[in-house]
Amino acid sequence: MLGVVGYPVGHSVSPQMVNAALRHAGVDNVLYISVEVKPRDLQAFCRSARLLNFIGFNVTIPHKVSVIKYLSRLDSSAKQVGAVNVVKVVGEKLVGFNTDVHGVMHSVPSKRDVDGGVVVLGVGGAARAAAVALKRKGFAEIVFAYRRMKTAREFKRFAESRRIGCRLVRMGSDEMAEEMRRCGLLINATPVGMHPHTRASPIASNLIHRRMTVFDMVYNPPETKLLKAAKARGAETINGVNMLVAQGAEALKIWLRLEADRKVMEKAVVDALKMFSRQRTIT
């Protein structure tokens, strides 16, 4: 078994994506499933994973940081980010990895291609991956917008320990609005706008301007309310599908040493998202 663990996971098309990659590669003895695990049950799942015949699993919202305390050790990729999105079962041990950085690296432009600063919405596990990737992309200072002070303080400690230049602004504040005026790259690293809450956006549309590139890590729906607003205001847009495929392909290397066909994976994602869209239209 392989799978994705989160709460909720009803939005995930990872099963369709990974199973398509496995079948295409001729791997017919492994099945990837989604497993809804509430925060209070995460420890129990981790303890039971090997007994349930899991050889590995993805970790998604809201477990990317909290899962760390239930793992045997962390790969350097997870240590650097301080968050885990891939777990491999090695004997009786659980080893944590992070492939989200790889996904972000494949999705966002480099500093030389951005006219202005960068603003990241969120300070959770996905924002940590964005921070590491953006530093590698050449951004010396990154602005992160937060809602809860406790999480912001934890993120600040993380950024300082990795020597990532960051400034924190409260979501919806005048300071954030000022940063948005100077922003050349906006990244949504929150789940706001994700299925089934597709009518939500993390920011007001009037904060977006045409000189921006807007990248939304949310991939379901592929065009979120945020991306629709960005497109309407003349901004460049990037959805979360590329990131999903890139991090998923890296996970398959970790679990099975499999070089997956990314075109097959992308087609499976696009087809699954079309099915989601049809279902939403019907309901």
* Helix, strand, coil shares, percent, the chain, to 5: 45, 20, 35
Q: Which domain holds residue 49?
A: 2-99+242-282
Q: Is the pLDDT of residue 52 over 80?
A: yes
Catalytic residue among 38, 64, 263, 267: 64
225 annotated active-site: no
pLDDT for residue 88: 98
Q: Is the pLDDT of residue 195 over 90?
A: no
- DSSP assignments along 267-278, one per residue: HHHHHHHHHHHH
Q: What is the mean pLDDT of residues 147-152?
A: 94
Q: Is the pLDDT of residue 283 over 60?
A: no
Cβ atoms within 10 Å of 1's Cβ, excluding its own: 15
Residues 209 and 246 grouped into a single domain? no
At 4-41, the pLDDT tens digits run: 999 999 889 999 999 999 999 999 999 999 999 999 99
Count: domains in the chain: 2
pLDDT band per the 50, 70, 90 thresholds, residue 281: low
Residues 137 and 229 grouped into a single domain? yes
Residues 200 and 265 grouped into a single domain? no
Residues 264 and 228 grouped into a single domain? no
Order the strands of the 236-238 sheet from edge to edge.
166-170, 142-146, 117-121, 183-188, 213-216, 236-238
Q: Is the pLDDT of residue 235 over 60?
A: yes
Reduce the DSSP state of residue 60 to 3 states and report it: coil
pTM for this predicted structure: 0.92
Residues 119 and 160 grouped into a single domain? yes
Q: What is the mean pLDDT of the chain?
A: 95
- Packed helices 14-24 and 262-282: angle between N→C axes, nearest 10 degrees: 140
Structure-token pair, residue 158: 């993380």
pLDDT band per the 50, 70, 90 thresholds, residue 76: very high
Reduce the DSSP state of residue 236 to 3 states and report it: strand
Residues 117 and 28 grouped into a single domain? no
CA neighbor of 121 nearest in space, from 180, 34, 43? 180
Q: What is the mean pLDDT of residues 250-264?
A: 98
Structure-token pair, residue 93: 């041990």
Give the domain CATH number at 252: 3.40.50.10860
Structure-token pair, residue 215: 């990248």
pLDDT for residue 282: 52
Measured in degrees and rounded to the nearest 5, phi and psi for residue 11 equal -85, -15
Give the domain CATH number at 207: 3.40.50.720
Residues 6 and 43 grouped into a single domain? yes
For the chain, the maximum distance between any two Cα atoms, rounded to a whole number of angstroms, is: 55
